[in-house]
Amino acid sequence: MTARIIDGKTIAADLRGKVTDSVHRLLRDRGLVPGIAVVLVGENPASEVYVRTKSKMVAAAGMHAIDRKLPVTTTEAELLALVGELNADPVVNGILVQLPLPPQIDSHKIIAAIDPAKDVDGFHPLNVGRLASGLPALVPCTPLGCVMLAKSVHGSLAGMDAVVIGRSNIVGKPVAQLLLAENATVTIAHSKTRDLPALCRRADLLIAAIGRAEMVRGDWIKPGATAIDVGINRVPAEGGKSRIVGDVAYAEAAAVAGALTPVPGGVGPMTIACLLLNTLRAACAQHGLPEPKI
């Protein structure tokens, strides 16, 4: 079998297009422009590139991008004060504090200080609890993107056996909650799981969010299954260069799986598209408008 390649770039572009149309309608009908504040503390080059890309896409979708860059020496009190300011600013509908934060700042405290209605990353304990309780919530962007990609293949995920490798608060746990909400039968695996290959071979839907280059081999995948690869791992390449690979051994998996996301070009592009969607949803909710139909 040769897997169908799930084209995250195209699916994300389609989603961004729908969000942009909805943003234009919001401006035309209500005079509203959703705004998102992205806060970056310190000078992590990878985060800076990511934040720049985010800002460009936010602007391209017709939204306000409010970028706040703070020095690496910023104290927790200073960052809490900024979050308080953004919480109170009516132009700001979404707040995203780029993680990781420098060691003097407790990221849990910062996340908990964000107004849950503006928590477009979906990391606030209230949104985490709402998702777990099956209530409407702002949900984390990468997990939401994973579920959209799986649904692009299957339509409904009801009754599927899903295995999620990874239990982080950012990816593993929320993706498992979202799959459960889609009526999949979900197993969460982690570093203490016994016989991971055998567990994975039972999955109709395998989500790898590990952070270990090509750990999931072709013979871990049930023939015909769908594999969604969240991993972003930089590995040495020829000529002293480096390249990005996922958590799934792509060539091996492509020979076995029914559908597979590439890295790059799979889950990655969905994350920012889902951030735009969350910002639009947050803006509508804050203005008492119905959930946008996307």
Enzyme catalytic residues? 54, 98, 121
Alpha-carbon gap, residue 281 to 278, rounded angstroms: 5
- The site map against ligand NDP for 136-175 (x = CB under 6 A) is ------x----------------------xxxx-xxx---
Alpha-carbon gap, residue 172 to 157, rounded angstroms: 17
Of 109, 190, 202, 287, the residue at the interface with ligand NDP (CB under 6 A) is 190
The side-by-side arrangement of strands in the sheet containing 226-229 is 4-5, 259-260, 226-229, 205-208, 161-165, 185-189
If the CB atoms of residues 28 and 194 are measured against ligand NDP, the closer one turns out to be: 194
Of 22, 127, 271, 279, the residue at the interface with ligand NDP (CB under 6 A) is 271
Of 10, 73, 191, 242, the residue at the interface with ligand NDP (CB under 6 A) is 191
If the CB atoms of residues 209 and 284 are measured against ligand NDP, the closer one turns out to be: 209
Q: In the bound complex, what is the minimum distance in angstroms from residue 28's beta carbon to ligand NDP? A: 32
62 binds ligand NDP per the rule CB under 6 A: no
If the CB atoms of residues 140 and 258 are measured against ligand NDP, the closer one turns out to be: 140
- Find how far residue 281's CA is from the centre of its chain: 15
**Six-digit token pair at 54?**
């985010």
**Six-digit token pair at 53?**
């890309």
Of 15, 63, 86, 210, the residue at the interface with ligand NDP (CB under 6 A) is 210
47 binds ligand NDP per the rule CB under 6 A: no
Q: 68 vs 5, 96, 137, 165, CA distance in Å? A: 37, 10, 25, 34
Cβ of 200: how many Cβ atoms within 10 Å? Answer: 23
Of 209, 228, 245, 275, the residue at the interface with ligand NDP (CB under 6 A) is 209
